[in-house]
Amino acid sequence: MEKPLILMTNDDGITAPGLRNLVRFISEIGDVVVVAPDSPQSGMGHAITINNTLYATKMTTVDEDGAKAEYSCSGTPADCVKLGLQELLERKPDICLSGINHGSNASINVIYSGTMSAAIEAGIEGIPAIGFSLCDYTWKADFSHAKEFVQNIVREALENGIPPGVVLNVNIPKLEKHEIKGIKICRQARANWKEKFDKRTSPMGKDYYWLTGEFELLDKGEDTDEWALANDYISVVPTQFDLTAHHSIQQLNSWDL
């Protein structure tokens, strides 16, 4: 039987350890084709390139991680998926995987995440998709403990399918393998970023700003991704890209419009 074809991308760049580890993990399951940004694209959300040229260079000097082919793309994570599906893959992939991201994409972070936007772009195109993140922002993060969990989730998704209109947002706590209690199917926690700008002045006398902030958890529920991660579980949130607030339609129909 033909092996599953797996499109893989990320937002930390094609050389990021999270992606390199994911390629190694998943090449044991199927044929991996990587289309990933040539430089870090964290926080890009679902941005796409419309006013510039896009380049995709086939890599010949990548690590021996087991990928069938790898392309370095000048665009955003969403661009990578679009280009992979429309131009670079020989056939429709069986699944798209994004990550493993360096840092959490739980709760409100999913809105800003290039990792999850890449997965959502695949979902929009009817491809089952999963975004993986490790709650460790360091470049030298240890991804080894995630291997069996990641492989199990991908195998289950390939065997059972993911509901139409849904992609999976998977976050893995920064723990040793024996410390992880299991996997929880969760909802997205209500949270926000309390943001501010650090205003500075360049040597040339021009003002510039650095965005800073603190994460505010507004949700005390024990069925959320943030609760699962805080209690040593891997969180899996089914995420939809239909942004319609269906519960509000009846109320808005009462307006005198």
Which domains are delineated in the chain?
5-244 (3.40.1210.10)
Q: Flag whether 101 is marked binding.
A: yes
84-126 tens-digit pLDDT:
999 999 899 999 999 999 999 999 999 999 999 999 999 999 9
Q: Which two tokens stand for residue 101?
A: 């991201």
Bond preceding residue 100 cis, omega within 30 of 0? yes
Question: pTM above 0.85?
Answer: yes
pLDDT digits 0-9 by tens, 48-73: 999 999 999 998 765 577 899 999 99
Helical ranges in the chain per DSSP H: 17-26, 77-83, 109-112, 114-124, 147-160, 225-230, 249-253
Task: Calculate ∠ Cα 216-221-224, nearest 5°.
Answer: 80
* 256 marked as binding residue: no
Distance between CA atoms of 201 and 21, rounded to whole angstroms? Answer: 40
Q: Binding site annotation covers 104?
A: no
63 carries a ligand binding annotation: no
Measured CA to CA, the distance from residue 99 to residue 153 in angstroms comes to: 14
